[in-house]
Amino acid sequence: MQTEFDLIIIGGGVAGCSAAITARQRNLSTLMIYAGDGALGKTKKIDNYPGFPDAEGPKLLQALREHAAHMGAQSVRSLVRRVMPLGDQFSVLAGNDVFMSRSVILAMGTSRVKLLEGEEELVGQGVSYCATCDGMFYKGGTVLVIASDAEAVEEAAYLSTLSKVLYVKEAPHDTAGLPESVEVIEGKPLNLSMKGEQIVLKTDRGEVSADGVFVLRPAVAMTQLIPEIETKNNQIVLDENLQTSVPGVFAAGDLAGAPLQAAKAAGEGNVAALASAKFLLLKKANAEKE
């Protein structure tokens, strides 16, 4: 599969599909990466989406995805864990795959992630969300995996090839595939803190410490996905073209703020895709001048 795109859209709901359709109309090579069906997939009936009275959410979503594919947008079902600005491109880590893009649209809806107490303060100082990106930093040491679903099992198995792995469940799930060397710690994770060079996890059954902690959940908080983006009162700061504080990164849909409505998400997907096309054209023109 192609790994370099003009535009990567994170999210495959109304906003993401609408952005993909318009981006293809503007001839941008486009990849839409989505982990699931989002809010529309949970909506039994939606009666104010223009042109589709009494629409069923999952059917409307299916039609939007087919439209995006018909226009030539590629798509991958995967959870994006990190977007990293690299020179004038972005590296997008989805599962264990890395894709490159010249612009990005964030269309991840409103999925909220409940962080552990102390977690946010320790991001980059021992707390990581990506085994592939940061596993090597702890080679030969001990790492703690705080896991919410069975997908974390594979990541923990990879980490166990580098380090001693302690595994704590944040939510119940099957751990059948864990290598024997991985030690499962009982207890509900409560908070994280630093003690000297070690990170300490307090659970309801005691404490456990490690050199690094990998928090592996099926959703990623916006601030961890791309920490460079400016937010105010928990809301992404956007200009009139839906561009974030990081040039080339745009946002659309529920993630961009109220009203949380499908028609607004579709409109914003369109605006963000057009703004992304304009951004890429200007960048190309400037590069040709130099």
Please give the residue ranges that form the binding site for ligand FAD (CB under 6 A). 10-16, 33-40, 42-43, 46, 48, 79-80, 107-109, 111, 219-220, 253-255, 260-263, 265
Contact 189, 210 (CB under 8 A): no
Question: Whole-number minimum distance, CB 282 to ligand FAD, in Å?
Answer: 26
Smaller CB distance to ligand FAD: residue 118 or 257? Answer: 257
> What is the rounded CA–CA span in Å between residue 230 and residue 154?
33
Query: Where are the extended beta strands (E) located within 151-262?
Result: 164-169, 183-185, 189-195, 198-203, 206-210, 212-216, 231-232, 235-236, 249-251
Question: Whole-number minimum distance, CB 268 to ligand FAD, in Å?
Answer: 8
Question: Whole-number minimum distance, CB 273 to ligand FAD, in Å?
Answer: 13
Q: Which two tokens stand for residue 191?
A: 């908070």
Contact 280, 31 (CB under 8 A): no
Q: Which two tokens stand for residue 39?
A: 């809010």
Question: Whole-number minimum distance, CB 200 to ligand FAD, in Å?
Answer: 28
Smaller CB distance to ligand FAD: residue 141 or 218? Answer: 218
Smaller CB distance to ligand FAD: residue 202 or 264? Answer: 264
Smaller CB distance to ligand FAD: residue 154 or 183? Answer: 154
Question: Whole-number minimum distance, CB 2 to ligand FAD, in Å?
Answer: 18
Smaller CB distance to ligand FAD: residue 95 or 187? Answer: 95
Which of 121, 127, 105, 118 shows the shortest CA–CA distance to 217?
A: 127
